[in-house]
Amino acid sequence: MAINAPEGTYDLLPDRKLFWEQFKQTARDVFGLYGYLPIETPVIERTELFVRGIGEATDVVGKEMFTALSGANLQKLLNGEKLPSKSRLSLRPEGTAGVVRACVQHDLVPQGAPPAKLMYAGPMFRAERPQFGRQREFNQVGIECLGAEDPATDAEAIIMLMRFFDRVGIPQESRVLLINSLGCATCRPAYREAVRAYMEAHADELCETCRERMELNPLRAFDCKNEQCAQVMEGAPKIGDHLCPDCAEHYDQVRALLDVAGISYVEDQRLVRGLDYYTRTVFEVQTVGDDRAQNAIGGGGRYDKLAEDIGGRPTPGFGFALGFERCANVLEALGHGFPRARACRAFIACVNDEVRADAFALAQVMRDAGVATELDHQGRSLKSQFKLADKLGALAVIILGPDELAEGQVRVRNMNSHEESLVLKDEAIPAVLSIL
Ligand code: HAM
């Protein structure tokens, strides 16, 4: 039986792969204007990084992480031996923890230095139940800004993301920006306790998962998709009433800066996000008129304690990530045309087998001259060579025939206008270039 790609993963075939490359390039162009530089961290990290960074009680770490073992370590585990924590590795479920780890490891934000502004793009892995817009391997583009606590950092990054969506073709009417503040180590514990106490008082109205969450991660109950839980949580204490003066001031300033920049947003006090590292500002961009659970195309926020949690010195941070596949789904629904991956720009067609050696030699000359050129290697008829040229995306076809070649000439066809001209063989490349 043929072996297919694992469930929840997919192949980026040439057209989609080209779009992914263009998508990343647009991100580099837009984020570059704001000072972001590229970084690439390993796809695999020590499990402990995610446990300490993202939080053991989150679904992402507690339930969805793919943990990897080398053959030797798997054997040890099967033999009942204990593995040292260093040998426990996991595929990254997201990019923030790895980038912050790299900043700590390489001291990218020394005392008094300007913030480190970094962007990344690549695959992330979560063992979720696959469905439309939810894969086990998916691609994210993300940014992290480390070293600045100022609300201007939050606002600047959010504005930059909106500019990116504009550029990539997801207009303002198709998206909604939700924002909230989750407070800090000073004000959140009391708020968390207030939510927990409220949930305890309503325990018999909550689903089993929310009852389980109550002690470990009560704020996640705001995300529960169960109708009745949603109704109960409507009455829960609101974070806005529990922010300390510093957090309230920070949040006010973020909103004021977004207002000045003309960015519209909706405040959503139930927006808690699924990763434990967030402090203060959190936000999510969702698609409008899409009530599917997978309507979040991007999200992020501030994480002022993450660097310390993974063993670094106190370093405030802010960042976001967006999901390439979900953005591509939205663009598809908006009727966006996707690029076509062209294997070549020019094609050399042979009238008969006699001229194949000349075609082979001319193809090398054309490629050396910088023109992506293809030709048939399967003995096709002239008609099917034209079909192939079309399929490969050729804009010009050079036709080699024995009679013309004897006169030192070739025919050049413009595949769009179907015009054909007879030119000297030495003039073939300029004739092709004038078509491309
Ligand atoms: P996140 O909200 O977990 O945040 O993921 C960001 C985006 O990745 C989501 O909005 C969604 O578009 C996409 N995504 C997440 N899971 C899946 C999936 N299973 N299948 C397809 N797409 C998915 C983070 O990952 C944080 N690291 C963002 C951040 C950066 N916060 C601060 N800095």
pLDDT tens digit sequence for 167-226:
999 999 999 999 999 999 999 999 999 999 999 999 999 999 999 888 888 998 998 888
Does 293 have pLDDT greater than 80? no
Q: Which of 31, 124, 140, 276 to mutate to test the pocket of ligand 1 (most atoms within 8 A of CB)?
A: 140
Kindly list the distances between the CA atom of residue 393 and the CA atoms of 227, 344, 396, 431, in Å, as whole numbers in the listed order.
51, 6, 9, 18
Ligand 1: residue whose CA is nearest its atom 18: 134
Q: How far is the CA of 328 from the centre of ligand 1 (A)?
A: 14
Least confident of 222-231, 235-244, 416-425: 222-231
pLDDT-derived band at 77, boundaries 50, 70, 90:
confident
10 Å Cβ neighbour count for 265?
17
Q: How far is the CA of 127 from the centre of ligand 1 (A)?
A: 13
CA-proximal residue: ligand 1, atom 22 (nearest): 323
Residue 292 has pLDDT above 70, yes or no: no
User: Is 343 a residue whose pLDDT tops 80?
Assistant: yes
**Probe residue for ligand 1, chosen from 31, 59, 94 as the CB with the greatest number of ligand atoms within 8 Å:** 94
Lowest-confidence segment of 9-23, 64-78, 397-411 by average pLDDT: 64-78
Strands of 147-237, DSSP E: 175-181
What is residue 83's predicted lDDT score, i.e. its pLDDT?
A: 83
Contact 401/355 with Cβ under 8 angstroms?
A: yes
Band the pLDDT of 290: cuts 50, 70, 90: low
Helix, strand, coil: what percent of the chain each, to 5?
A: 45, 20, 35
Residue 289 pLDDT > 80 = no
d(CA 412, CA 428): 7
- What is the predicted pLDDT for the residue at 217? 86
Give the tens place of pLDDT for each residue, 120-171.
999 999 999 999 999 999 999 999 999 999 999 999 999 999 999 999 999 9
> What's the whole-number average pLDDT of the chain?
95
Whose Cα sits closest to atom 25 in ligand 1?
Answer: 94
Helix (H) or strand (E) holding 158: helix 151-168
Compute the average pLDDT of residues 380-407. 96
What is the average pLDDT across 113-125?
A: 97
Nearest-angstrom CA–CA distance, 351 and 362: 15
Rounded average pLDDT over 55-83: 90
Strands (E), 99-214: 116-125, 137-146, 175-181
Nearest ligand 1 atom to the CA of 126 is: 19
* Residue list, ligand 1 pocket, CB within 6 Å: 94-96, 126, 128, 133-135, 138, 140, 142, 144, 274-275, 296-301, 319-323, 325-326
* Full-model pTM: 0.93
Q: Give the model's pLDDT for residue 70.
A: 87
Average pLDDT over residues 57-75: 91
pLDDT of residue 86: 81
> Cβ(302)–Cβ(282) under 8 Å?
yes
Look-up: residue for tokens 């996707």?
Answer: 338
Helix (H, G, I), strand (E, B) or coil at 322: strand
Report how far ligand 1's centroid is from the alpha carbon of 298 (Å): 6
- Report the percentage of the chain scoring pLDDT > 70: 99
Mean pLDDT, to the nearest integer, of 93-117? 97
pLDDT reported for residue 55: 92
% of the chain at pLDDT higher than 90: 88
Q: What is the pLDDT of residue 215?
A: 86
Residue 133 CA: nearest ligand 1 atom is 21
